[in-house]
Amino acid sequence: MTEHLVFLDRSTLQATLRRPSFDHTYTEHATTSIDQTVVRLRDATIALTNKAPLRAEALAQLPALKLIAVAATGYDIVDVAACRERGIAVCNIRNYAVHTVPEHVFAMLLSLRRNLFAYRVDVERGRWQQSEQFCFFDHPIGDLHGSTMGIVGGGALGQGTAALARAFGMRVLFAEITPGAAGRADRTPLDLVLADSDVISLHCPLTPATRGLIGPAQLRQMKRNAILINTSRGGLVDELALATALTEGWIAGAGFDVLTSEPPTQGNPLLDLRLPNFILTPHVAWASKDAMQGLADQLIDNVELFVKGTPRNLVT
């Protein structure tokens, strides 16, 4: 049997994509809008997508579809319940960004903790030349060694971040966010993690249970010298509350690689911040050259294994 593969948003993956070993046809589109989805997948048996959504209304019009291979770890762009009802398998990518995401976390964290951006701006403005001594101390600098990192999400990315934290001499706490599961020995209740940590790093999926996980109350629980890092999903954090927390000094800083809506064409309160204690990058923590190629290879591996009858990384 010939499988018909369609990649809805190939431009989101800057890597070499090998062709599957089985008999197939292949079509790719740079991007796909919601109103183009059904037409482009009309004859597809396998859909590849990174961020092009596949909702129940579209899935109902695609009787030939057997597999949705998501080119990412997060799969909230797919209506999993609708797929389950229609017998459509969904698989995702796992453990491909175990180095690049933690490294991005610490790139932002070190920049914020040592106030690198504030010092760079001062040097560019001539502040060093005006100093009466060999250096100046206009902005506080903090060490990571001896501080506490709270991690929300105990998967591969959370564990990778924890490994780097320990290498810096940090104490690591993993937060428990599942009701009724607080008895696990390797978990600490979220409220205690928020109150005790100098850094909070988010590495959990976006689900109904985690949407808005960090809001005004949680930001108020954090230390005033704490830093919040989010390289996971934008919807985990109340962005308006975060903007307020940064401008009013509830916390010391934040580094974000994600926003609730991407690209943020309708604006976002975090885009308006011009603060030395806030870093915003455009969802690129995952995107090192090596990580993207690993993702591309795993994507085709997932498809080949499904067709072979030995699927892996299934989410439904």
Residue 233 falls in the annotated catalytic set: yes
Residue 262 falls in the annotated catalytic set: yes
- 178's tokens: 């599942």
- 34's tokens: 């919601």
Cα 264 from Cα 302, distance rounded (Å): 31
DSSP per-residue letters across 223-267: -TT-EEEE-S-GGGB-HHHHHHHHHHTSSSEEEES--SSSS-TT-
Site of tokens 């859909």: 47
Which of 86, 283, 304, 312 does the annotation list as catalytic?
Answer: 283
Cα 68 from Cα 307, distance rounded (Å): 12
* Helices and strands in the chain, H and E counts: 10, 12
Which of 84, 233, 239, 274 does the annotation list as catalytic?
Answer: 233
Cα 178 from Cα 90, distance rounded (Å): 24
- 307's tokens: 């067709």
Which residues are within 8 A (CB) of 243 and not within 5 positions of it... i.e. 6 or more apart?
269, 270, 272, 273
Which of 85, 120, 262, 312 does the annotation list as catalytic?
Answer: 262
- Catalytically active residues are 233, 262, 283
